[in-house]
Amino acid sequence: MSSQFFVVATPIGNLKDITLRAIEVLNDVDYIACEDTRVTRILADKYGFSAKLFDCHKFNEKERSEKIINLLEEGKNVALVSDAGTPGISDPGSVLISSLIERGIKITSLPGACAVTTFLSMIPRKNEEYAFIGFIPRNKKQQIEILNKYRYTNCVFYESPNRLMETLENIKEEYGPNALVAVGRELTKVFEEIKINSVEEIISYFQKNPLKGEIVAMLFAKETSDVSEDELKQKIKILKEEGFSPKDISRIISKLYGENKNKVYKMVI
Ligand code: SAM
């Protein structure tokens, strides 16, 4: 039989969240390419995988792609895993996958744990549509740019616990205190927590409660404008007559009605 290459999802916290097929494949392959061999060793020891482990991470993925192709050409079976969840989802994998596709090598992906899907399965939404942006940029301007791009779509992102409050403050400033947000923390783990509320309430909650561990969050799609275009123009006119600057007007309107600041600013000028 010719060699085989597998992408294998591993747990995102609870070590029992691994499929029977993943255990079978990781038991059978000759090599497991992993982000950090120390992390995958824990899983390998728990389930008794005897395959050789080697690292394949964002800094050596290109070079490791050649190694993996050579192993496959020698008839070895290889699996790719990441530290947690599904490889290629905010994790290395993409460079390797494109090299394999270029060589016409068949890829078999074993579905399993993923923080986005675990999170979304617990979040009620009015429609199925969502945009997953991976790790949200750190820079405020870039954050707002990407959130604006998907303002009318549920926008899911990964964020570090150290930066979440700042990101939530940016959302509050841009879309107003009532913008609806969901936060999933430590999914599948002992301190798993899901919060769905206005951004203001969520900020206030995490000011009083520990914000540690791994985070996935969503800014809910803005449904429709709370005010009609005509009403908006009317409000802008009043504020203009009162002598407010375009910047102040866009800030006030966006706070009051959750309208996008840039959109209002453009209307003002
Ligand atoms: N490949 C993974 C997947 O399938 O979800 C994601 C890897 S990415 C490097 C790691 C980020 O995913 C974390 O910083 C966090 O934002 C999110 N994440 C991973 N595990 C999580 C968990 N148990 N609960 C909440 N978020 C998690």
The structural domains of the chain, with segments of one domain joined by +, span 5-113, 119-219, 229-268
What is the CATH topology of the domain spanning 5-113? Cobalt-precorrin-4 Transmethylase; domain 1 (3.40.1010)
Q: What separation in Å is there between the alpha carbon of 214 and the centre of ligand 1? A: 6
Q: What is the pLDDT of residue 224?
A: 65
Q: What is the pLDDT of residue 213?
A: 97
* Long-range contacts (CB closer than 8 Å, 24 or more residues apart) made by 174-178: 174/144, 174/147, 174/148, 174/254, 174/260, 174/261, 175/147, 175/199, 175/219, 175/222, 175/254, 175/258, 175/260, 176/254, 176/255, 176/256, 176/257, 176/258, 177/255, 178/258
Which residue CA neighbors atom 8 of ligand 1 most closely?
90
Q: Encoding tokens for residue 130?
A: 């969502």
Question: Is-contact 14 191, C-beta < 8 A?
Answer: no
Q: What separation in Å is there between the alpha carbon of 90 and the centre of ligand 1? A: 8
What is the rounded CA–CA span in Å between residue 214 and residue 185? 6
DSSP secondary structure code for residue 187 in this structure = T
Q: Encoding tokens for residue 37?
A: 């061999």
* Ligand 1 pocket: which of 162, 195, 212, 214 to mutate (most atoms within 8 A of CB): 214
Q: What separation in Å is there between the alpha carbon of 98 and the centre of ligand 1? A: 23
Q: What is the pLDDT of residue 2?
A: 85
Q: What is the pLDDT of residue 226?
A: 64
Q: What separation in Å is there between the alpha carbon of 114 and the centre of ligand 1? A: 7
- Report the SS3 class of residue 266: helix
Question: Is-contact 122 194, C-beta < 8 A?
Answer: yes
pLDDT tens-digit map of 7-22: 999 999 999 999 999 9
User: Which parts of the chain register pLDDT below 70?
Assistant: 1, 224-226, 258
- What residues contact 269, with CB distance under 8 A and at least 6 apart? 246
Say whether 119-219 and 5-113 share the same fold.
no
CATH architecture of the domain with range 119-219: 2-Layer Sandwich (3.30)
Question: Is-contact 216 224, C-beta < 8 A?
Answer: no
What is the rounded CA–CA span in Å between residue 180 and residue 244? 28
Q: What is the pLDDT of residue 261?
A: 77
